[in-house]
């Protein structure tokens, strides 16, 4: 499979390494020296995009216009998701997006939803979340943390909104889920969810050891969308419930 890399930072290089190991070919690279407007995507079977939130939408639209399927790992642009979904559908394009491509994290999403269901009505427990990432992580909370928070809200009616604290836990009132973001050197990504009562604490967590899991999942996602049409997520790739 011929792959175009949109973004060639640490994640782009990690994706390149795994793609080559799995027998694929890198046919184009988009970065600050080679913007997407100057790159020929015609030879690519799929593009994998990990850049910045303010660039992602233009990259997606360009790929759709050029009939190049695209897998997107950039987060914090999803206010445009309905617009992009409509564009993909009307253009008969191919688009896969995820807040996290790690297979382990996507399983963790499902565990989080199930625990949220079990904790519904357990008013002695108060839920909170922490996410820890490297200093280069621009958005807070992480896209993964937002997915986890929304998973709690959608499956536990005791919570109706989440609030963010950066480096310190936020003040919350009844019905609010506190999410605290920490930035620390050389942390690929850690997410911790706690339900605390006066007598005990239930904790689930996911800790990434390196970027390999994210890169591998992105390449697997690219392999999944090959010769498909439509809008997809990692739930489709891993055959998980929606």
Domain assignment of residue 123, given as a range: 103-207
How many Cβ atoms are within 10 Å of 184's Cβ, its own excluded?
A: 12
3-state secondary structure of 19: helix
Q: What is the pLDDT along the chain (242 residues), one digit of tens a residue?
A: 999 999 999 999 999 999 999 999 999 999 999 999 999 999 999 999 999 999 999 999 999 999 999 999 998 899 999 999 999 999 999 999 999 999 999 999 999 999 999 999 999 999 999 999 998 887 899 999 999 999 999 999 999 999 999 999 999 999 999 999 999 998 999 999 999 999 999 999 999 999 899 999 999 999 999 999 999 999 999 998 65
Shared-domain flag, residues 54 and 110: no
Shared-domain flag, residues 193 and 223: no
Shared-domain flag, residues 219 and 127: no
Shared-domain flag, residues 203 and 222: no
- Among all residues, which ones are annotated catalytic? 133, 137
Shared-domain flag, residues 31 and 74: yes
CATH number at residue 72: 3.40.50.720
Helix (H) or strand (E) holding 179: strand 176-183
Shared-domain flag, residues 79 and 110: no
Q: What pLDDT sits at residue 241?
A: 66
What the block records as the tokens of 38 is 């100057």
Provide the number of structural domains found in the chain. Answer: 2
Q: Buried b vs exposed e over 49-70: b needs ≥16 C-beta within 10 Å?
A: bbbebebbbebbbbbbebebbb
Shared-domain flag, residues 56 and 46: yes
Shared-domain flag, residues 81 and 164: no
What predicted TM-score, i.e. pTM, was given to this entire model?
Answer: 0.85
Shared-domain flag, residues 28 and 75: yes
């Amino acid at each position: 499979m011929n792959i175009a890399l949109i973004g060639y930072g640490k994640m782009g290089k990690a994706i390149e390494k795994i793609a080559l190991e799995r027998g694929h070919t890198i046919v184009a690279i988009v970065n600050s020296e080679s913007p997407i407007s100057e790159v020929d995507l015609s030879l690519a079977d799929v593009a994998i995009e990990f850049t910045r939130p303010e660039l992602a939408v233009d990259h997606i639209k360009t790929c759709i216009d050029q009939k190049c399927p695209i897998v997107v790992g950039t987060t914090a642009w999803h206010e445009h998701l309905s617009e992009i979904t409509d564009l993909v559908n009307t253009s008969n394009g191919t688009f896969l997006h995820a807040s996290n491509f790690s297979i382990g994290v996507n399983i963790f999403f499902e565990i989080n939803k199930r625990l949220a269901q079990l904790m519904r009505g357990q008013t002695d427990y108060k839920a909170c979340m922490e996410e820890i990432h490297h200093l280069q992580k621009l958005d807070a909370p992480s896209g993964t943390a937002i997915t986890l928070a929304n998973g709690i809200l959608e499956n536990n009616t005791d919570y109706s909104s989440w609030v963010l604290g950066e480096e310190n836990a936020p003040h919350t009132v009844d019905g609010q889920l506190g999410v605290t973001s920490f930035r620390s050197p050389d942390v690929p990504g850690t997410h911790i969810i706690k339900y605390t009562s006066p007598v005990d604490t239930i904790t689930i967590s996911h800790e990434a050891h390196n970027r390999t899991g994210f890169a591998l999942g992105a390449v697997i996602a690219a392999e999944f969308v090959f010769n498909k049409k439509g809008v997809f997520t990692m739930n489709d790739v891993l055959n998980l419930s929606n």
